[in-house]
A and B are shown apart, each in its own frame.
Chain A
Amino acid sequence: MYVTSSGDRHGDRTPIDPYPTDPWRNESLWPVRFGQLTNIGKRQHYALGQWFRKRYSNIITNKYDSKKVYVRSTNVDRTLMSAEVNLAGMYPPMGKEVWNDHLNWQPIPIHTRPEHDDEVLAMKRKCAQYDIAKNNFINSRAYEDHLSKYEGLMDYLTQHTLRKIKDFEDINDIYNILFIENLYNLTLPKWTHSVFPDKLKEPACYSFSIATATPVMARLLAGPLLKAIVNNMLNKMSEQPDALTMSIYSGHDFTIANILSALGLFDGNCPSYTSTIIFELLNEDSTPDYYVRISYRNTTDIVEPFILNIPNCGKMCPIQRFIQVFDNLISVDWESDCQVQYNNNLIIYFFIMIHIFIFILYLQDNYCDVIKQEKRNELLRNRRIATDETETCLCPDLEQNVDVNNVEKPQLLL
């Protein structure tokens, strides 16, 4: 086993923004402020870190090696903190690493970047093409039909929460708040009994597959992270000196769902706290064959994760085949793919318009010339017959044309 990249969701947290009629919306009723990691969440991640250490003790050293292990988090307090405790569980200081006799902990760097500038992990950097694709999807008949099935439910929620619930994401926000309150054994208001959890769960968790609903959306949103993971694997295979043995990514529920959904592996269940996807590169002793294995654990309990059956490739997927199957995602060239191409279309459209315009002018000119020529001929003919004076045609002045015609007609009859 060589390289492993794992994406994990942060641990237990408090609700982010309770709805207006929520009986538990008073922040002081909670152990920490809204949206923050709780002590339970810290312990969950600490346990996950300890599990990583045990599972990968054969490929990563007990001593932290900054050249082999890379940790990245989204720039959000709870994911940064989750990564910190995870590493505290994974790397308790050993031997010479002990720097403080009173503290069985050592600092390990966690890299991050602003969310609006992070297309890889936060997946929040602005991408015009993605916005167009998403907009098209949201306005598609199929999506609207699907959403309309929940109109009754959304009206019911709007009425009781006093918050406008208009799509799957909104349903998920409510579901998430109720889920956490239920987890904390807080009594939920009566109106929830008829909808929570069963009726809400399906549409709430469906919200996680919208972001990568079409191949273009999946490519632009989940492509960069999958590309980074595959590149890590290729680096390791070709024994690059800077190849990492393990990369840890600390993200959110939607990070997990987007990756699963893009790979066609999302099972419709919301990712739980500390849910973890693991990408492993495996190779059989002394053979040049490398395989990708994807495991997923969607529970806070530290149990053996499920090995997922990769579409068209199986549980042990040869890496070259993996790259072929998911070429749509891995080949993403984010910066250029995100640029809006209708600029080109506009330019082409503009050119065509100009050409048509010129053509019309030309036709008109020609037409005018033809008329002028005809008129001249007629005039010449007329002069031969009669010697009355006519002005030259100033096409497209109709009056004169009419005049000329009026004058000419009787003469032609002669």
Chain B
Amino acid sequence: MEYDKEDHTWRRRSSATLKQTTCQPMPKRSHTVAVIVLGLAVLSCLLGYCVLSETLPYESKTLRLVIVLFRHGARTPISSYKSDPFKNYQWPDGLGSLTNAGKLQLYELGKKYRNYYANFIPEEYYEKDVYVMSSDKSRCLMNAYTFLAGLFPPSDRQTWHPELPWQPIPVHSLPKDLDDIVAQTKPCKVWKSMYEELLEEANSDPKFAELFDYLSKHTNQSPFLNEIKMNLQDSVSHTNLDRSLYIYSGHDVTVVGLWRTLGYSELLEPEYGASLVLELHEEVEQDTFFVKLFYRNNTKVEVPMELNMPFCDDPCTYNRFIQHIETLIPNNWEEECQN
């Protein structure tokens, strides 16, 4: 990891200077003591930093925009099967609902992001900075709320209830029949017929992989890709200066879909609360923008894994990234779907 390496070199250099300072003989005893005490203080700070650096805020002067997409937390089964021994078990909130553990997972994830981006995401929630969009499914909406509860506990000024460290934050959504972005449930005729065809051919046909690839790359993900493209563009062209964070609360299919459209062919099995993060960086001196991609497979991961996008060099320039996703966005989704 890039900034880990930096961290490493920086630590070594500083400890060297430190040794130099402590080794210099000082004329007065009190001075020596003072220097030793100071030196010890600095040393302990450094040591503490080294130990804790993994969880300390992410330091970046180039960061401009963060787009987070996560899967909901633990839920009860969506449907039972014929020989299911728990077929008649009354799940506390019915099938497919978010459990308390699931609520907590995303709350913890929200807190992780708060710590990780402490130097980037403002402490106080302000609606022009953040845009939150969720699938209309109850578990996703609920997870968006708990994630935000962890990410934006109210500041003193925002505290409205003395005993409730929580504040309402708007979560936007689209009804199932209109959602082509997060849940991707808006009907698309072409996609549906291809999907049915695929189910028929299933494993027997070697074209399976190819077709699946096409399906996941095309049509169904494209409105979401388009949304990402617009978000990046707004930031690059400075049309939306306030907005620095987009949050999407979706399903495993949303996460896997984005993963595949970004060119990864390995099988991804996102756990509950898995999250993908796109970061937009600006190198002011070079006047260029870069895109970075990070992944957390669950809510326990402390430091996200940086991914190198197969279609792009490292670092991946914004232009190359846009160029790639543009090839996956049809000019007219409705038309391509033949709705």
Contacts and interface: CB of A to CB of B under 8 A. Distances in A.
B172 A80 contact: yes
B178 A117 contact: yes
Interface in A121-163: none
A26 to B, nearest CB: 17
Contacts of B136: 111
Interface string A84-107: 110010000000111110111111
B172 A112 contact: yes
Interface majority SS on A: helix, strand, loop or mixed? loop
Contacts, number: 95
B166 interface: yes
Nearest to B93: A66
A99 B103 contact: yes
Interface string B159-171: 1110111111111
B145 A107 contact: yes
Contact of A109 (B141, B160, B178): B141
Interface stretch (A39-47, A53-61, A322-330, A335-343): A39-47
B174 interface: yes
Given A33-B126, A96-B92, A113 B97 contact: no
Interface in B167-187: 167-175, 178
Nearest to B107: A100
B204 interface: no
B149 interface: yes
Contacts of A76: 170
Given A66-B93, A117-B178, A109 B142 contact: yes
B319 interface: no
Given A43-B160, A111-B173, A103 B166 contact: yes
Interface residues of B, number: 40
A75 interface: yes
A36 B175 CA distance: 24
A112 B145 contact: no
Interface size class of A (residues with CB under 8 A): 35 or more
A31 B127 CA distance: 14
Contacts of A106: 103
A77 interface: yes
Nearest to A35: B127
Given A33-B126, A107-B143, A109-B141, A42 B167 contact: yes
B149 A103 contact: yes
A98 B107 CA distance: 13
B136, B149, B160, B170 interface centre (most CB from chain A within 10 Å)? B170
A39 B162 CA distance: 12
10 contacts: A33-B128, A39-B160, A42-B167, A84-B168, A84-B169, A84-B170, A85-B160, A99-B107, A110-B171, A111-B175
Interface of B: 92-94, 97, 100-101, 103-104, 107, 126-128, 136, 138, 141-146, 149, 157-161, 163-175, 178
Interface of A: 31, 33, 36-37, 39, 42-43, 46, 66-67, 75-77, 80-82, 84-85, 88, 96-100, 102-114, 117
